[in-house]
């Protein structure tokens, strides 16, 4: 078929070439135009449609770049999408449009945070200072992390978390997962991993890649059951010291001493995951286990995902001296995984005292937010057990009834609300990204969604026993 002209309704607020491009793309994806159909020439469009030559050229160029049409010299422009690829292109286009159109008003997921709690102007200032230093950014970064940042973190980790290490024991990575990969490569084999029975999928992925067997250990109110741990063959224990046990509280002193004694007696290792452990705003802060380890049995991992920005991909790991020597022997085989520019900016930010001041502000900020959120949850869900995970900036809700949370999560999305549940099927509500003024309306909507789900499930016929 040879197309005579392009019929479309002009709209304001969008470039004319984009309107022409979108019209032709839609006709191709809907099947009105098929492979081999000829489009009108640029000159003919210019005359019949009364549009500029530039608009037609730019629309055709975009279609050419994306593979929708081809240009044959002396003949013209032709549709060039195979019939079997039309549906795939349509799906990709619709998916991209859906993602752009989706507007989230209440985001209770743990992957997001309130950007207003971070001084972006100050952070941009430090980034600019680094970018102005042309020599520094013209070289590759150090595999173990920039020395300036390691020295700044050495002091910060000791001051805030009681971590004792040299700068050479400190490794910088883009995430705790990338650091775990490095750690697993340094360990003596065979390795048997111990975890709380609730598990930790991101860490388990790394252990699985190394074919390390994992033992899930029963958890008690204050953390892993010591009786099960002692009776197991575990020689590498993974613990989240900021949120442990059934009650998701920081590890208490008694449990820390028991774990360190177990590691010393077994000559075992402990990975202390202390993600954002400095964010204590209701409970009294307990120093990291690593600072009490005298035998080199603890690997410490820290992160800034909830303190600075989730998009700032910097985590750090402190390894015992024995593992540091192994790392030194193969250091040239590693490459940096975290941006050198961001590392140098963070080093200056910490050295000037901004990180400690920022953490103090965050404690006050999240104390206020969490208290307000708890009040609302207790008001609207009086029958639920409400547990606060301080470092994770989230509440866990345990209901006295069974409910399909998956259907609630899907329904919430229709109301511009994002929810999540944990591996135990409990509703997890992060308050990091919810604005104070939106909390009451968000909790009220959540209550309405849960009540509607309860009523719907109560009407459904029960399966015969």
**Based on the domain organization, do 188 and 280 belong to the same domain?**
yes
CATH number assigned to the domain comprising residue 199:
3.40.640.10
Q: Decide if 8 is inside a domain.
A: no
**Based on the domain organization, do 189 and 312 belong to the same domain?**
yes
**Based on the domain organization, do 148 and 247 belong to the same domain?**
yes
Q: Which comes out higher in pLDDT, residue 151 or 199?
A: 151
The residues with which 214 forms a beta bridge, in sequence order, are 193
Burial (CB count <10 Å: 0-12, 13-18, 19+), residue 187:
middle
**Based on the domain organization, do 282 and 164 belong to the same domain?**
yes
Q: Decide if 447 is inside a domain.
A: yes
Mean of the pLDDT values across residues 196-201?
84
What are the pLDDT digits (tens) for 63-90?
888 888 888 988 888 888 887 776 666 6
Domain C-terminal end among 321, 352, 383: 352
* Single pTM value for the model: 0.76
- Whole-Å CA distances, 411 to 406, 414, 442: 9, 5, 14
Residue 99 — very low, low, confident or very high, per pLDDT cuts 50/70/90?
very low
Predicted confidence (pLDDT) at residue 49 exceeds the cutoff of 90: no
CATH number assigned to the domain comprising residue 420:
3.90.1150.10
| 455: containing domain | 106-116+357-459
| DSSP letters spanning 88-154 | HHHHHHHHHHHHHH---SEE--TT---GGGS-HHHHHHHHHHHHH-HHHHTSPPPTT--HHHHHHHH
Q: Decide if 132 is inside a domain.
A: no
Mean of the pLDDT values across residues 385-393?
88
Q: Decide if 121 is inside a domain.
A: no
Burial (CB count <10 Å: 0-12, 13-18, 19+), residue 120:
exposed
**Based on the domain organization, do 392 and 367 belong to the same domain?**
yes
Q: How many CB atoms lie within 10 A of CB 391?
A: 22
**Based on the domain organization, do 364 and 282 belong to the same domain?**
no
Q: Nearest-CA neighbor of 292 among 254, 324, 238?
A: 254
**Based on the domain organization, do 211 and 67 belong to the same domain?**
no
**Based on the domain organization, do 322 and 395 belong to the same domain?**
no
Q: Decide if 133 is inside a domain.
A: no
User: What DSSP element (H or E) covers 156?
Assistant: helix 147-161
CATH number assigned to the domain comprising residue 43:
1.10.10.10
Task: Give me the numbers of helices (H) and strands (E) for the chain, helices first please.
Answer: 16, 18
Determine what percent of the chain is predicted with pLDDT higher than 90: 47
Mean of the pLDDT values across residues 379-404?
88
Domain count, the chain: 3
Q: Nearest-CA neighbor of 250 among 281, 226, 206?
A: 281
Long-range Cβ contact pairs of 403-406 (< 8 A, separation 24 or more): 403/450, 403/453, 403/454, 403/457, 404/453, 404/457
What is the predicted pLDDT for the residue at 460?
Answer: 67
Kindly state the tokens that stand for 241. 């010291």
**Based on the domain organization, do 112 and 148 belong to the same domain?**
no
**Based on the domain organization, do 361 and 454 belong to the same domain?**
yes
Q: How far apart are CA 435 and CA 446, in angstroms?
A: 15
Predicted confidence (pLDDT) at residue 360 exceeds the cutoff of 50: yes
Predicted confidence (pLDDT) at residue 96 exceeds the cutoff of 60: no
Domain C-terminal end among 299, 325, 352: 352
Mean of the pLDDT values across residues 191-205?
89
Mean of the pLDDT values across residues 6-14?
72
**Based on the domain organization, do 395 and 450 belong to the same domain?**
yes
Predicted confidence (pLDDT) at residue 134 exceeds the cutoff of 90: no
Predicted confidence (pLDDT) at residue 220 exceeds the cutoff of 60: yes
What are the pLDDT digits (tens) for 150-195?
999 999 999 999 999 999 999 999 999 999 999 999 998 899 999 9
Domain C-terminal end among 352, 384, 407: 352
């Amino acid at each position: 078929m040879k197309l005579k002209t392009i019929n479309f309704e002009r709209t304001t607020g969008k470039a004319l070439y984009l309107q022409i491009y979108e019209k032709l793309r839609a006709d191709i994806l809907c099947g009105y135009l098929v492979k081999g159909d000829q489009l009108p020439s640029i000159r003919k469009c210019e005359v019949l449609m009364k549009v500029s030559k530039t608009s037609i050229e730019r629309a055709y160029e975009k279609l050419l770049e994306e593979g929708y049409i081809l240009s044959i010299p002396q003949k013209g422009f032709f549709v060039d999408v195979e019939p079997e690829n039309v549906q795939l292109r349509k799906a990709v286009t619709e998916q991209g449009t859906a993602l752009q159109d989706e507007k989230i008003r209440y985001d209770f997921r743990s992957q997001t945070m309130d950007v207003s709690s971070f001084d972006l102007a100050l952070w941009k200032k430090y980034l600019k200072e680094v970018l102005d230093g042309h020599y520094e950014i013209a070289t590759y970064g150090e595999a173990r992390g920039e020395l300036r940042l390691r020295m700044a973190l050495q002091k910060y980790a000791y001051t805030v978390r009681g971590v004792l290490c040299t700068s050479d024991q400190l490794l910088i990575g883009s995430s705790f997962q990338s650091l775990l990969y490095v750690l697993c490569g340094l360990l003596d084999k065979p390795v048997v991993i111990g975890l709380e029975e609730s598990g930790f999928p991101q860490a388990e992925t790394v252990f699985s890649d190394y074919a390390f067997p994992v033992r899930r250990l029963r958890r008690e109110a204050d953390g892993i059951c010591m009786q099960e741990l002692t009776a197991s063959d575990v020689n590498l224990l993974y613990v989240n010291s900021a949120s442990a046990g059934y009650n998701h509280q920081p590890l208490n002193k008694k449990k820390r001493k028991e774990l360190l004694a177990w590691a010393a007696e077994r000559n075992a290792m402990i990975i202390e995951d202390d993600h954002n452990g400095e964010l204590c705003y209701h409970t009294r802060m307990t120093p990291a286990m690593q600072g009490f380890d005298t035998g080199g049995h603890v690997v410490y991992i820290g992160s800034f995902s909830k303190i600075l920005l989730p998009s700032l991909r910097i985590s750090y790991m402190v390894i015992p001296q024995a593992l540091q020597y192994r790392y030194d022997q193969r250091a040239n085989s590693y490459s940096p995984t975290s941006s050198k520019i961001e590392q140098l900016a963070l080093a200056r930010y910490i050295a000037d005292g901004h990180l400690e001041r920022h953490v103090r502000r965050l404690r006050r900020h999240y104390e206020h937010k969490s208290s307000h959120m708890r009040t609302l949850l207790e008001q609207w869900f009086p029958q639920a057990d409400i547990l606060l995970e301080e470092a994770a900036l989230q509440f866990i809700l345990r209901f006295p009834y069974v409910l399909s949370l998956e259907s609630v999560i899907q329904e919430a999305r229709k109301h511009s609300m994002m929810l999540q549940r944990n591996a135990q099927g409990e509703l997890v509500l992060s308050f990091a990204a919810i604005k104070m003024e939106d909390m009451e309306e968000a909790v009220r909507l959540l209550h309405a969604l849960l009540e509607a789900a309860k009523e719907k499930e109560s009407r459904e016929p029960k399966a015969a026993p």
